Amino acid sequence: MHDLEVGEHLYRFPGGLKLRHHKQIACRDPLLRPEMPEALYLPLQQHQGPAGEMLVAPGDRVLKGQPLSRARNDREVPVHAPTSGTISAIKAWPVSWPPDSEAECLVLQPDGKDAWFETTALDDWRHADPADLIGHIRAAGLAGLGGAMFPTAAKLRGEWQQVHTLILNGSECEPYISCDEMLMRERPGAIIEGGLILARALGADEVIIAIEDQMGAVDESLSRALAEHDPDDICRIVEVTTIYPEGGEKQLIQVLTGAEVPHDGLPQDLGLACLNVGTAAAARDAVIEGKPLIERIVTVSGPGIKHPRNVVALLGTPVSDLLAAAGGLDDDIERLVLGGPMSGLPLASDLIPVAKGSNCILVLRREDTRRVQPVMPCINCGECVRVCPASLLPQELYKYLKAEDYDETDSLHLFDCIECGCCAHVCPSHIPLVDWYRHGKGVLRERGIEDARAQKARQRFEAREKRIAEEKERRRLRREQREQKLKAGGDAKSEVQAAIERSRSKSAGPDQDGDS
Amino acid sequence: MSATLAAMMVAVGVMLALLLGIGLVLLVSARKWRPDEDSVVEQINQILPQTQCGQCDYPGCRPYAEAIANGEADINQCPPGGEAGVKALADLLGRAPKPLDASHGETKPPLVAVIDEDRCIGCKLCIQACPVDAIVGAPKMMHTVIADECTGCELCLPPCPVDCIDLVPRRRPFIWSVDTVEVESREALEPAKTEREHA
């Protein structure tokens, strides 16, 4: 057995903030399914990792749930048709990442029939082979629904020791986002069944569902479902204190176990796996119903939307359709954000489609985004250090980034920053710290790529030098041999004669040789 | 009197012996653990960008590294390495950084060669010129550049008899700009700040 107790005691992670929740406004109404969009826009890469192999071409008719691409390994994730219709084109369309960019998207024109492709459920999953379960989950196109979009199959198997505990992350800590809360209220059974399936795939003997202590209705609905779906009593609900960002993977693990995930390691190194509750529900749909991941719950909220609510959106639905479903926009809208107010990503366009990791669309008015004061110099107050959940030195990182001393930021562990935004939130000088960190990470990443290129170029250059030297040596040897032969034999004349004969026979009968 | 003299002589003797002893140890160790010529070349080569462009007047990055190590070449002859490269070399060799020598060319953004395949006559001259074997093709067949292997050295340009090779900027990964978002959405939480308390 393992010696790491998960969820027995609650620990604390360093830093963090208590923020006003702003979640209830989007939870008052039940889930809504927006009308079928005129067209769905599906990028083949909706996850961390390379895109899968495309299986369709423009003009193809596809059915709901039909795979549009295929995964060749665990890091690739297939995309499926969210409804039946025709692939009308493959064209460049705005996407959320990188900001202000376009990517090749499959355009699916729905035919309104919503006719299903054949679904392949896995009978008797309670006794299925873990590899079959993972294969099923991979083919269903699962990627982390919490927002990071990490391929689920790659999380379920890999080079690590036995995973003993599965943590289902329902502690959605960022203000405004409530899609997981809605899911836990509406489909608690699916989450628990999904958790049991994922636990079987991992070989884990315990499932912890972590929720926030401020989610009242959730605890109740999950407990009821637990009694119904968990006969072996494997699952347990743990309420964690609501402190942003306790829903971060590393922070949640620290809260539940008191242990830290090593900075160059994975939760699996501690015998843990951490997945979002939405991913668990999707795993259940994939295995028990045979349905691939084609829709997700998206929170549409913020001060600038008329009727904040949670919607069930087909992947590929343009954001504008979701905004319409939530009552439309107020006047004086300044910005759309994908994700929450602390760590979200600004959207350049409302044409951007919903992807597997799109948890929330936040609508902000001009007065919400207006700066209260200009950016001032850092005064070394240390507030950022106090709130950093990763125990970094934000003000030092900022200083070195500003001085473009990227090596130093690397040794201060810039890459351990989870971009939660706590430091920027408390900064009395209103320095956009997270933007600086994102910038620094980008520069360091590019540098890594350049170094790898240089190493490769160097190897190729050296290999070429070696080859040229060898060729030269071979030529020299051949020449020497010939010279020796001539010297030793003294029959230079006969050599010459033979050469003349050869050329004569060639010119006399070119057809015999077949050589021109 | 003679006792003090003797004591002084002993002191001087001890000091001399120490001096000689330490000097000998230093001499021997300096001979024995002399900085390895190869490792210096290797370290310089690590800093060089491996473009293999020859703009430094040496036929590749390693020959240039050897020339720097021998004291033949200066550290500011590598345009692809740029000012940052000169600075890194100066740090490594304990010399003063200096501006890039403009006579060797100027620093350009990363480039990649592209062959206009309609105009290519398949003469193989560029294949022979490429220092990293990044061009594939056969006689009288169309040639093409393996973009991932190309260092953008421009050495394939002069030999091409039909001028069908272009250098285009290489696609670079997206880097978040500090000005990407002028105003942060975090400000939307401003009302909550008043009731903020540290965890």
**Which residues of chain B neighbour A465 with C-beta distances below 8 Å?**
60
Instruction: Give the nearest partner residue to B184 out of A17, A386, A424, using CB atoms.
Output: A424
How far, in Å, CA of A324 to CA of A307, rounded? 9
For residue A300, the SS3 value is: strand
- ipTM, two decimals, is 0.77
pLDDT of residue A474: 95
* Whether B188 and A362 lie within 8 Å, measured CB to CB: yes
The string of DSSP codes covering B54-74 is -TTSSSSHHHHHHHHHHTSS-
Amino acid at B27: L
The mean pLDDT of chain A is 91
∠ CA A450-B113-B45, nearest 5°, is 40
Name the pLDDT band for B35 (thresholds 50, 70, 90).
Answer: low
Residue B160 has pLDDT above 50, yes or no: yes
Per CATH, the number for B109-171 is 3.30.70.20
- The CATH H-level superfamily of B37-104 is Electron transport complex subunit B, putative Fe-S cluster (1.10.15.40)
Interface A:B, Cβ pairs < 8 A: 133
Q: Which two tokens stand for residue B62?
A: 């390693």
Q: Taking residues A93-122, what's their average pLDDT?
A: 91
Q: What would the pLDDT profile of A431-474 be if each residue is shown by its tens digit?
A: 989 999 999 999 999 999 999 999 999 999 999 999 999 999 99
A146 DSSP 8-state letter: T
Using alpha carbons, list the distances in angstroms from residue B187 to A338, A343, A382, A465, B191: 15, 12, 20, 59, 9
For residue B22, the SS3 value is: helix
Quote the minimal CA–CA distance from B19 to chain A in Å: 42
Does domain A24-145+152-311 match CATH 3.40.50.11540?
yes
How far, in Å, CA of A319 to CA of A26, rounded? 17
∠ CA A75-A80-A83, nearest 5°, is 160
How far, in Å, CA of B54 to CA of B52, rounded? 6
Q: What would the pLDDT profile of A305-340 be if each residue is shown by its tens digit?
A: 999 999 999 999 999 999 999 999 988 888 899 999
Taking a C-beta distance cutoff of 8 angstroms, is the pair A309, A179 a contact? Answer: no
For residue B91, the SS3 value is: helix
Residue A1 has pLDDT above 90, yes or no: no
Q: What would the pLDDT profile of A160-219 be if each residue is shown by its tens digit?
A: 889 999 999 999 999 999 999 999 999 999 999 999 999 999 999 999 999 999 887 899
**Which residues of chain A neighbour B174 with C-beta distances below 8 Å?**
97-99, 101, 442
Residue A36 in contact with partner chain B when CB distance is under 8 A: no
pLDDT of residue A491: 65
pLDDT of residue B194: 34
Quote the minimal CA–CA distance from B71 to chain A in Å: 22
Residue A268 has pLDDT above 80, yes or no: yes
Which of these, A116, A162, A139, lies nearest to A283 by C-alpha position?
Answer: A139
User: Which residue of chain A has the CA closest to B150?
Assistant: A457
Residue A405 in contact with partner chain B when CB distance is under 8 A: no
A262 DSSP 8-state letter: P
0.90 exceeded by pTM: no
The mean pLDDT of chain B is 86
**Which residues of chain A neighbour B199 with C-beta distances below 8 Å?**
12, 15-18, 243
Q: What are the residues whose beta carbons fall under 8 Å from the beta carbon of B179, sequence distance 6 or more? A: none
∠ CA B186-A442-A390, nearest 5°, is 55
Residue A374 in contact with partner chain B when CB distance is under 8 A: no
How far, in Å, CA of A219 to CA of A207, rounded? 15
Residue B111 in contact with partner chain A when CB distance is under 8 A: no
Residue B43 in contact with partner chain A when CB distance is under 8 A: no
* Whether A20 and B195 lie within 8 Å, measured CB to CB: yes
Instruction: Give the nearest partner residue to A438 out of B60, B176, B192, using CB atoms.
Output: B176
Which of these, A265, A258, A144, lies nearest to A198 by C-alpha position?
Answer: A144
Q: Taking residues A88-114, what's their average pLDDT?
A: 92
Quote the minimal CA–CA distance from B49 to chain A in Å: 6
How far, in Å, CA of A232 to CA of A227, rounded? 10
* Whether B180 and A463 lie within 8 Å, measured CB to CB: no
Residue A2 has pLDDT above 70, yes or no: no
Q: What whole-number percentage of chain A has pLDDT above 70?
A: 97
Name the pLDDT band for B190 (thresholds 50, 70, 90).
Answer: very low
Residue B184 has pLDDT above 90, yes or no: no
* Whether A20 and B191 lie within 8 Å, measured CB to CB: yes
Of A78-92, A362-376, B182-196, give the range with the top mean pLDDT. A78-92
Residue B187 has pLDDT above 80, yes or no: no
Name the pLDDT band for A489 (thresholds 50, 70, 90).
Answer: low
Taking a C-beta distance cutoff of 8 angstroms, is the pair A96, A352 a contact? Answer: yes
Best interface-test mutation with B: which of A330, A460, A465, A466 has the largest number of B CBs within 10 A?
A460
Indicate the range of A69-83, A177-191, B35-49 predicted with least confidence.
B35-49
How far, in Å, CA of A320 to CA of A164, rounded? 43
Using alpha carbons, list the distances in angstroms from residue B75 to A463, B68, B82, B101: 26, 7, 11, 9
For residue A93, the SS3 value is: strand
* Whether A303 and B188 lie within 8 Å, measured CB to CB: yes
How far, in Å, CA of A216 to CA of A390, rounded? 29
Amino acid at B126: C
Identical topology for domains B37-104 and B109-171:
no
How far, in Å, CA of A315 to CA of B183, rounded? 29
Residue B177 in contact with partner chain A when CB distance is under 8 A: yes
Residue B192 in contact with partner chain A when CB distance is under 8 A: yes
B182 DSSP 8-state letter: S
Residue B186 in contact with partner chain A when CB distance is under 8 A: yes
Check whether the bond before A98 is cis (ω within 30° of 0): yes
User: Which residue of chain B has the CA closest to A448?
Assistant: B173
Q: Are strands A295-301 and A360-365 parallel, antiparallel or unpaired?
A: parallel
Q: What would the pLDDT profile of A3-40 be if each residue is shown by its tens digit?
A: 788 888 999 999 999 998 889 899 999 999 999 999 99
Residue B131 in contact with partner chain A when CB distance is under 8 A: yes
The string of DSSP codes covering A165-222 is EEEEEE---STT--HHHHHHHH-HHHHHHHHHHHHHHHT-SEEEEEEETT-HHHHHHH
How far, in Å, CA of A402 to CA of B116, rounded? 42
List the domain boundaries for chain B: 37-104, 109-171
Provide the b/e sequence for B111-142 (b: ≥16 CB within 10 Å): bbbebeeeebeebbebbebbbbebbebeeeeb
pLDDT of residue B181: 52
Residue A101 in contact with partner chain B when CB distance is under 8 A: yes
Cα torsion A95, A100, A102, A107 to 10°: value is: 40
Best interface-test mutation with A: which of B184, B190, B193 has the largest number of A CBs within 10 A?
B184
The string of DSSP codes covering B23-51 is HHHHHHHHHHTPPPHHHHHHHHHHHS---
Burial class, B60, CB count within 10 angstroms (exposed 0-12 / middle 13-18 / buried 19+): buried
How far, in Å, CA of A162 to CA of A273, rounded? 10
Other C-beta atoms lying within 10 Å of the C-beta of residue A331: 7
Q: What would the pLDDT profile of B75-95 be if each residue is shown by its tens digit?
A: 999 999 998 899 999 999 999
pLDDT of residue A507: 73
Other C-beta atoms lying within 10 Å of the C-beta of residue B190: 16
Q: What would the pLDDT profile of B96-147 be if each residue is shown by its tens digit?
A: 988 999 899 988 888 999 999 899 999 999 999 999 999 999 998 889 999 9
Name the pLDDT band for B197 (thresholds 50, 70, 90).
Answer: very low
pLDDT of residue A150: 94
**Which residues of chain A neighbour B185 with C-beta distances below 8 Å?**
335, 337, 341, 344, 346, 362, 364, 368-369
pLDDT of residue A4: 83
* Whether B189 and A342 lie within 8 Å, measured CB to CB: yes
pLDDT of residue B199: 35
Name the pLDDT band for A119 (thresholds 50, 70, 90).
Answer: confident
Report the Cα A69 to chain-centroid distance in Å. Answer: 17
**Which residues of chain B neighbour A369 with C-beta distances below 8 Å?**
183-185, 187-188
Which of these, B181, B196, B185, B182, lies nearest to A302 by C-alpha position?
Answer: B185
The string of DSSP codes covering A308-341 is -EEEEEETT-BHHHHHHHTT-BPSSEEEEEES-T
Residue A19 in contact with partner chain B when CB distance is under 8 A: yes
Residue B132 in contact with partner chain A when CB distance is under 8 A: yes
For residue A123, the SS3 value is: coil
Residue A346 in contact with partner chain B when CB distance is under 8 A: yes
Instruction: Give the nearest partner residue to A17 out of B177, B185, B199, using CB atoms.
Output: B199
For residue A459, the SS3 value is: helix
